[in-house]
Structure 1
Amino acid sequence: MEVTIKNSNFTATINSKGAELISLKSNNREFIWEGNPTFWGKHSPVLFPIVGTLKNNEFQYSEQNYTLSRHGFARDMDFVIREQSENKVVFSLEASETTLKYYPFIFELQLIYVLEQNKLSIQYKVLNKDKKEIPFSIGAHPAFALPENFENYSLSFEEDQALQYFLLENDLLSDKTEDLNLQENKLYLNYQLFERDALVFKQINSKSITINENGKPVLKVNFNDFPNLGIWTKVNAPFICIEPWFGYSDTNKNTGNILEKEGIIILEADKFFESEFSIEIQ
């Protein structure tokens, strides 16, 4: 089921499967990647209850092994609509017999989409409905359409002049790093940057990134709440992903104990977690 919200500036369409943003339009321009499976068949999946890949695709909790595929299960599950108005919609996913097979915790995940003037706010809320602590990671994976040549685009970083990113090896985070020296806080895009997969930033000073087209800003992603970030595309694909995260892939050194996972959030019983990022049209 697809739900559309709108205001005087633009419209957003969200699929109840995965509560995934599939369209964001303003003045007849589409800002979200179309999802062509030749390159990548997603648009903006929600990453929960893990971000990235677990070592051997499994974790341990209370002396039992559980299997979780890359980025978790939320992106493939049907959410229900809790609330809907012209410019706002609230989606909900609750623990079930299906989720408990892969993730032995009772939770509710809410995604709240709100249009405000020239901005789409995307809010995450995780409610611990269990009697024990819940460990989880959560993240965004929006892909932004780049209709012109890839090299015509650059990313402006709010605070950083140089960046250090971690390399992925076989989907796991290695201890190898490389430096990016920005030009006047800008990263000029080319496909060579992504020949070895995503750029993963454990630390980043900037809390917003602007996509520039032929030197002019077209869209800004604000992620003040999020400590980690991924930037990714497929080689020759006409999109760029700017991915605010809480957490990231395992390394080969991970013990497998979910409570010891680097970057994991531990949420106490009867508590809730909230975070928000936004997409702002320039």
Structure 2
Amino acid sequence: MLITITNTKISASINALGAELIRLEKDSKNYIWTVDETYWNKTSPILFPIVGRLKNDTYSIENKTYELPRHGFARNLEFQIVNQTESSVVFVLESNSETLKNYPFEFELRLEYELDENELKMKYFVENKSEATMPFSIGAHPAFAIENSFSDYSLKFNQTEEFISYELDNEQFNAASKKIQSEKGIINLNYTLFEKDALVFKHLQSNELTILKKKEPVLSVQFEGFPYLGIWTKPNAPFLCIEPWCGLADNRNHNGNIFEKEGINFLQAKETFSKTIKIKI
């Protein structure tokens, strides 16, 4: 089911399958890329209860092994619509007998989409409904449309800093890193930046970036409180993903214990975690 919310400035369309943002429009222009399965079959998946890939696609709790696919299962499950107005909608996913097989915790994952002038707010809430401490990761993965030449685009961060990207090897961290060239907080884009998968920043001071086309702003993404940021595309693909994360893929030397996983978050019984991402056109 596709839900569309609107105000006088912009509109957004979200699929209940995965609570996935499909379109974000202003003046009839869609800023989210349109799926072409030659490159990728998603537009803005939710990453939960893990971000990235686990070593051997498995993890352990008290010596019991569980399996989870890359980025978890939420992106492939149907969410329930629990509230809707003209300019907002709330989607909820609750644990069930199937999720408990691979993730032995009772939870509620809620995603609220709200329009405010030229801005889309995406609010994430995770509630631990178990009696035990719940380890989890969560992240966003919106893909923004790239028109014409990829090299026309750049990213302007709201802090001038050193950009160190941590390298992925077969979708796991290998302890290698590289400095990404920048000038006054601006990274010029080209496909060679992504030859070894995503750029992954772990220690940014910035909490907002602006996509520029020929030095003119297209949109901004604010990610206050997200400790990690991924930026990703595929060779010659007409999109760029800006991915705020609360969590990371495994290191290739990880022992598999999810409670010892780098970047993992913990919720005590009945506690709720929340974060907000803002996309402004």
- State the TM-score, normalized to the length of structure 1: 0.98
Deviations 1:193-245 (A, max 9, x none): 00110011111111001000111001000001201000000010011111000
Distance 1:95 1:165 in 2: 34
Q: Deviation at 1:63?
A: 2.1
Match of 1:99 in 2: 99
The aligned amino acid for 1:36 is D
1:177 has 2:190 as partner? no
**Secondary structure in 1 aligned to 2:100?**
helix
**Secondary structure in 2 aligned to 1:100?**
helix
1:67 has 2:54 as partner? no
Contact 2:23 2:32 in 1 (8 A): yes
The aligned amino acid for 2:111 is L
Q: How does 1:63-142 map to 2 (within 5 A)?
A: 63-142=63-142
Match of 1:54 in 2: 54
1:23 has 2:23 as partner? yes
Q: Deviation at 1:62?
A: 2.5
Distance 1:263 1:35 in 2: 30
Instruction: List gaps (5 residues or longer) in structure 1.
Output: none
Q: Deviation at 1:253?
A: 1.6
| Range with bigger deviation, 182-191 or 236-245 | 182-191
**Secondary structure in 2 aligned to 1:101?**
helix
Q: Deviation at 1:6?
A: 0.5
Match of 1:33 in 2: 33
**Secondary structure in 2 aligned to 1:156?**
strand
The aligned amino acid for 1:73 is F
Q: How many residues align?
A: 281
Match of 2:144 in 1: 144
The aligned amino acid for 2:96 is S
Change (3 A) 1:239 1:34: same
The aligned amino acid for 1:259 is F
Contact 1:225 1:277 in 2 (8 A): no
Distance 2:184 2:153 in 1: 15
**Secondary structure in 2 aligned to 1:47?**
coil
Deviations 1:84-127 (A, max 9, x none): 00011000000001101110000000000000001000000001
Match of 2:221 in 1: 221
Q: Deviation at 1:31?
A: 0.3
Match of 2:163 in 1: 163
The aligned amino acid for 1:208 is E
Contact 2:161 2:205 in 1 (8 A): no
Contact 2:54 2:172 in 1 (8 A): yes
Q: Deviation at 1:11?
A: 0.6
Q: Deviation at 1:180?
A: 1.3
Match of 1:44 in 2: 44
Match of 2:246 in 1: 246
| Range with bigger deviation, 180-189 or 138-147 | 180-189
**Secondary structure in 2 aligned to 1:91?**
strand
Instruction: List gaps (5 residues or longer) in structure 2.
Output: none
| Range with bigger deviation, 50-59 or 247-256 | 247-256
Distance 1:208 1:171 in 2: 25
Q: Deviation at 1:162?
A: 2.2
Distance 1:97 1:155 in 2: 43
Percent of aligned positions that are identical: 48
Q: Deviation at 1:147?
A: 1.3
Deviations 1:138-164 (A, max 9, x none): 000000001121011010011033200
- State the TM-score, normalized to the length of structure 2: 0.99
